[in-house]
A = this chain, B = another copy of it.
């Protein structure tokens, strides 16, 4: 008989590893809502032990009454701990060691660690299942939005056709600020906005994980497994970040009736499952186009429910603590569903579609020398690849100077568009590397 069953009427005893922003927020929530949680769970949720890097650090929450472990892994063998909350971070190292040990010792596990799950999600789900314990990770995807619960339970009657997420608040903040700049006539470059985001604490000193799309890809790999019941496969995610986004492309997006968003997309496409993170233009009348600033959102398309959208704060102490505690409430109430919506042993590999096979519509911006015949040359590149043009904007401003030419295509295979763009890049009249951005109509 596992420890949770013997103590289902006593308190649920928690050990927390990692007392940074999220760990502090989690302790604060559990303290402040203690009565409310007892009423909702029928039992108390009690933090009994903690582990962090520095015991003596000044913290907002009082931890002196809690058992301290220098080594996080010791929480896994603490006989008075029923559930371990892993808030250390990192795909391997101490976080992985703790999680593996916790499950091996029959402890429930709650984690906010998307990198860990993106790399070891399937194995951890199998370990949790073997031990008969919960593996909760609501906080790992889309912060405070209960999207894992929505997919794993609330929409579980549906075959999901696709999930489209704004999963990285830093990128969404930057793109929103660039939009606002264009609209207010105070155009700002990506670098300027990134610096401002760093100053405000919305971007890390080393912003690569966020702005290069890695963080969103970690979350997407997890979402894909929940949605399609397949093992987590981070390596199959196509990843592009937002470093190359220019204010001029935001300007054209607005002019064409779109908004620029970094989307993370898991889609059941004719050629296999698509897992892709990249900047997109989305129609301005799509609900996701209005998700601004550091907010996250996930659009889910199901065969029976149709299109639903879930929006909320994607990060921060409060929202993340809310998600961590939702998982603890499930454990305290004795709720358990399969980690990725189906039993871990029945997760069945799906074939992933290569990006070259993606069929969609595209935005292409070229900087060209403004002289007769240029458009004909560009048009020929597209014709040679059987890509048809939907619209074109050329505003000649300076004869013989560089001017932008913008094209949107009808539906075409990405391989063909890529070849057409490569051919354009070789033309003598093209002055910069062409910019190609996918249009996602959702």
Q: Which residue on chain B has the smallest CB distance to residue A319? A: B305
Report whether A330 and B42 are in contact in the complex, using a CB–CB cutoff of 8 Å.
no
Task: Write the nearest CB–CB distance from A205 to chain B, whole angstroms.
Answer: 25
Complex: A319 Cα to B155 Cα, angstroms = 10
- Judge if A358 is at the interface, Cβ distance under 8 Å: no
Q: Which residue on chain B has the smallest CB distance to residue A337? A: B333
* Max count, chain B CB within 10 A of own CB: residue among A150, A316, A322: A322
- Judge if A37 is at the interface, Cβ distance under 8 Å: yes
Chain B residues, Cβ within 8 Å of A335: 153, 335-337
Chain B residues, Cβ within 8 Å of A290: 287, 290
Task: Write the nearest CB–CB distance from A250 to chain B, whole angstroms.
Answer: 18
Partner of A311, one of B42, B159, B309: B309
A307-356 residues with Cβ-Cβ distance < 8 A to B are 307-313, 316, 318-319, 321-326, 328-330, 333, 335-338, 341-343, 346
Say yes or no: A144-B322 contact (C-beta < 8 A), given A287-B311, A290-B290.
no
A1-58 residues with Cβ-Cβ distance < 8 A to B are 25, 29, 33, 36-37, 39-40, 42
Report whether A153 and B322 are in contact in the complex, using a CB–CB cutoff of 8 Å.
no
Q: Which residue on chain B has the smallest CB distance to residue A307? A: B312
The number of chain A residues with a CB under 8 A from chain B is 58
- Judge if A201 is at the interface, Cβ distance under 8 Å: no
Report whether A157 and B306 are in contact in the complex, using a CB–CB cutoff of 8 Å.
no
Complex: A70 Cα to B69 Cα, angstroms = 65
Partner of A33, one of B159, B229, B311: B159
Complex: A341 Cα to B319 Cα, angstroms = 20
Report whether B146 and A154 are in contact in the complex, using a CB–CB cutoff of 8 Å.
yes
Say yes or no: A40-B329 contact (C-beta < 8 A), given A29-B304, A310-B310.
no
Report whether A312 and B306 are in contact in the complex, using a CB–CB cutoff of 8 Å.
yes
Say yes or no: A322-B157 contact (C-beta < 8 A), given A311-B309, A312-B309.
yes
Say yes or no: A304-B287 contact (C-beta < 8 A), given A312-B309, A326-B155.
no
Task: Write the nearest CB–CB distance from A159 to chain B, whole angstroms.
Answer: 6
Say yes or no: A304-B291 contact (C-beta < 8 A), given A154-B146, A157-B29.
no
* Max count, chain B CB within 10 A of own CB: residue among A155, A319, A330: A155
A346-370 residues with Cβ-Cβ distance < 8 A to B are 346
Task: Write the nearest CB–CB distance from A300 to chain B, whole angstroms.
Answer: 9
Report whether B40 and A338 are in contact in the complex, using a CB–CB cutoff of 8 Å.
yes
Complex: A308 Cα to B291 Cα, angstroms = 11
- Judge if A149 is at the interface, Cβ distance under 8 Å: yes
Partner of A157, one of B37, B39, B316: B37
A393-428 residues with Cβ-Cβ distance < 8 A to B are none
- Judge if A112 is at the interface, Cβ distance under 8 Å: no
- Judge if A208 is at the interface, Cβ distance under 8 Å: no
Task: Write the nearest CB–CB distance from A344 to chain B, whole angstroms.
Answer: 12
Task: Write the nearest CB–CB distance from A209 to chain B, whole angstroms.
Answer: 23
Report whether A154 and B318 are in contact in the complex, using a CB–CB cutoff of 8 Å.
no
Report whether A326 and B157 are in contact in the complex, using a CB–CB cutoff of 8 Å.
yes
Report whether A291 and B287 are in contact in the complex, using a CB–CB cutoff of 8 Å.
yes
Partner of A40, one of B307, B318, B341: B341
Q: What 0/1 readout, one digit per residue, does chain A (142-153) give for beta carbons within 8 Å of chain B? A: 001110011001
- Residue contacts A-B, CB under 8 angstroms, 21 given: A36-B159, A39-B346, A144-B305, A144-B306, A145-B308, A150-B150, A153-B326, A153-B330, A155-B326, A157-B324, A157-B325, A302-B322, A303-B318, A304-B321, A305-B318, A306-B313, A306-B318, A308-B310, A310-B310, A333-B337, A335-B335
Which A residues lie at the B interface, using CB under 8 A? 25, 29, 33, 36-37, 39-40, 42, 138, 144-146, 149-150, 153-159, 229, 287, 290-291, 302-313, 316, 318-319, 321-326, 328-330, 333, 335-338, 341-343, 346
**10 closest residue pairs by CB, A with B:** A146-B154, A157-B325, A308-B312, A305-B322, A144-B305, A304-B318, A304-B322, A309-B311, A149-B154, A306-B313
